[in-house]
Amino acid sequence: MKRLKHFAYFEPASIKEAVETLTEEDGAFPLAGGTDLLVRMKRGEIHPAALVNLKHIRNLKKIKSESGNGTTIGALASISDIQGSPVIRAKHPLLVQAAGVVGAPSIRNLATLGGNIGRASPASDMSPSLMILQARILTEGPKGKREVGMNEIFAGPGTTTLSKTEFITAFYIPEPSPHTGTAYLKLGRRTGGGDCALVGVATLLTVENDEAGAVGIALSSVGPTPVRALKAEEVLMSGPLDDERLKETARAAAGEINPISDHRCSAAYRREMVKVLTYRALIESLQKARGGLPG
């Protein structure tokens, strides 16, 4: 049986206590859902001397929306909590769509949003959506509270710009604009999620007088970190939203990324799939923005 090596164990009851423990204990790691941390411990990739279990901190799982004032999702909210939240479904159906393709149901019941982002996986299914929804990451550490943008959080594969004693407490997402449509499309080897994304594409389109008022395109599994496709966004903003513009945008997205070839698929295939999925995601977003589809 695969067993975990010995570690010191802490169950802080408050954020303050968690920060203190992370600061005082050498080699301490925060534990959220555990679906990634425990795997890496079992594989011997990491050897935490201490685990600081964040699950006993009150309100860290909370999802709340104040009318006209944005939505806050606690870092410990599980991916299933997000998938099943009526608040998120009403305000940000994009996150429901993305949550639905993270791992399998039994993983989604454990895994948390904070963990999905804090892990800084290039293949994170939640990151592209949070990026284009302009989410802000709320953190707390020995120097106090801080807000970090989704475009500033990732330093490289598996690393963030947060310090070791700092952790994510929540995500803040501003109010969505009217006439906005979004989509997250993931290419995996199995349909409906369950495995790691070969390519993930999130798009957001706010339509004003048949032109793009605001746009967002972000991609996963195409570089060392999830990324915004800024050149493609410029193309999308540059004129009327006809079919040729969507196609040109998709080509621009495929052109501005630097994917690698690995055991999952080749760089050329990833590039081609970014083009295909960006186009499809834009069509879906446009239909939703024009009211043809819910969300």
Strand pairing class (50-53; 28-31): parallel
CA distance 146 to 183: 29
Residues between 78 and 107 with contacts to other proteins, criterion CB under 8 A: 80, 103-107
CA distance 93 to 8: 40
Closest CB to other proteins among residues 86, 149: 86
Nearer to other proteins, 6 or 294 (CB): 6
Beta-strand (E) ranges in 40-166?
50-53, 63-65, 71-74, 136-141, 144-149, 154-156, 159-160
State yes or no: residue 110 binds other proteins (CB under 8 A): yes
| Least distance to other proteins, CB of residue 79, Å | 12
- Give the residue with the Cβ less far from other proteins, 105 or 291: 105
Cβ burial of 278 (10 Å; 0-12, 13-18, 19+) is: buried
Residue 46, judged by CB atoms within 10 A of its CB (0-12, 13-18, 19+), counts as exposed
Segment interacting with other proteins, rule: CB under 8 A, options 1-9, 122-130, 197-205, 270-278: 1-9
Place of tokens 């800084």: 120
Region near other proteins per CB under 8 A, out of 34-42, 114-122, 174-182, 235-243:
34-42
Nearest to 114 by CA among 57, 192, 50: 57
Burial of residue 69 (number of CB atoms within 10 Å: 0-12, 13-18, 19+): exposed
Binding mask 45-74 for other proteins (x = CB under 8 A): ------x-x-x-------------------
Nearer to other proteins, 49 or 155 (CB): 49
263 binding other proteins? (CB under 8 A)? no
For residue 36, give both structure tokens.
Answer: 């990634």
> Closest separation between CB of residue 5 and other proteins, Å?
7
Stretch in the footprint of other proteins (CB under 8 A) among 2-10, 157-165, 177-185, 198-206: 2-10
Q: How far is the CB of 193 from other proteins (least distance, A)?
A: 7
Please tell me whether residue 172 binds other proteins under the rule CB under 8 A.
no
Residues from 185 through 204 that contact other proteins (CB under 8 A): 190, 192-194
Contact between 269 and other proteins by CB under 8 A: the answer reads no
Cα pseudo-dihedral 233, 237, 240, 246, rounded to 10: 0
- Which stretches of the chain bind other proteins, using CB under 8 A? 1-7, 9, 31, 34-35, 38-39, 42-43, 51, 53, 55, 80, 103-107, 109-110, 190, 192-194
